[in-house]
């Protein structure tokens, strides 16, 4: 049945990433990377890169919705945007040189850190 609908796993992965972005204002990549590797069969490096390409329009859409609902302070976001652009450029340049085992572990620690911080905030 999977062969007849090759679009289903990617569509579900994208949908889950969109829900995460809409609920939390980001974080869709944390949903996408495991789905892209596990369900969609992408290798780890391609999954990281693909998730970035998928997340961009999802973040733009979420930002527009938050903006029109009064939940976005552009002046407060600007310094983070500038830092994020610089960090994204550096990360993209260094990405190819990183060992995938190290990158996978760093990603897992980032997810774990975010989960623990969320639980402690309760």
91 to 77, 102, 116: CA distances (angstroms): 20, 14, 25
Query: Quick one: tokens of 42?
Result: 């992408």
* Spatial separation of the C-alpha atoms in residues 122 and 30, rounded to whole Å: 21
Which positions of the chain have pLDDT values less than 50?
Answer: 1
- Position 1 scores a pLDDT of 47
Task: From 16, 36, 30, 50, select the one nearest 118 (Cα to Cα).
Answer: 30
* Spatial separation of the C-alpha atoms in residues 95 and 28, rounded to whole Å: 19
Q: Is the pTM of this model over 0.75?
A: no
CB atoms within 10 A of CB 44: 15
- Chain position carrying tokens 């990433």: 17
Looking at the chain, list the stretches that DSSP marks H as alpha helix, in order from N- to C-terminal side.
Answer: 8-24, 28-38, 44-68, 74-95, 100-120
* Spatial separation of the C-alpha atoms in residues 21 and 52, rounded to whole Å: 13
- Position 25 scores a pLDDT of 65
What would the pLDDT profile of 21-56 be if each residue is shown by its tens digit? 777 767 778 888 888 888 888 898 899 889 888 888
User: How many residues can be counted in the chain?
Assistant: 122
């Amino acid at each position: 049945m999977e062969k007849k609908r090759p679009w289903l796993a990617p569509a579900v992965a994208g949908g889950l990433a969109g829900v995460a972005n809409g609920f939390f204002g980001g974080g869709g990549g944390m949903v996408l990377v495991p789905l892209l590797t596990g369900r969609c069969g992408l290798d780890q490096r391609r999954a990281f890169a693909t998730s970035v390409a998928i997340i961009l329009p999802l973040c733009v859409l979420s930002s527009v919705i938050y903006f029109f609902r009064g939940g976005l302070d552009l002046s407060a976001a600007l310094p983070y945007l500038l830092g994020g652009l610089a960090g994204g450029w550096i990360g993209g340049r260094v990405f190819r040189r990183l060992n995938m085992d190290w990158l996978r572990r760093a990603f897992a620690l980032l997810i774990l850190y975010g989960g623990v911080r969320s639980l402690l905030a309760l």
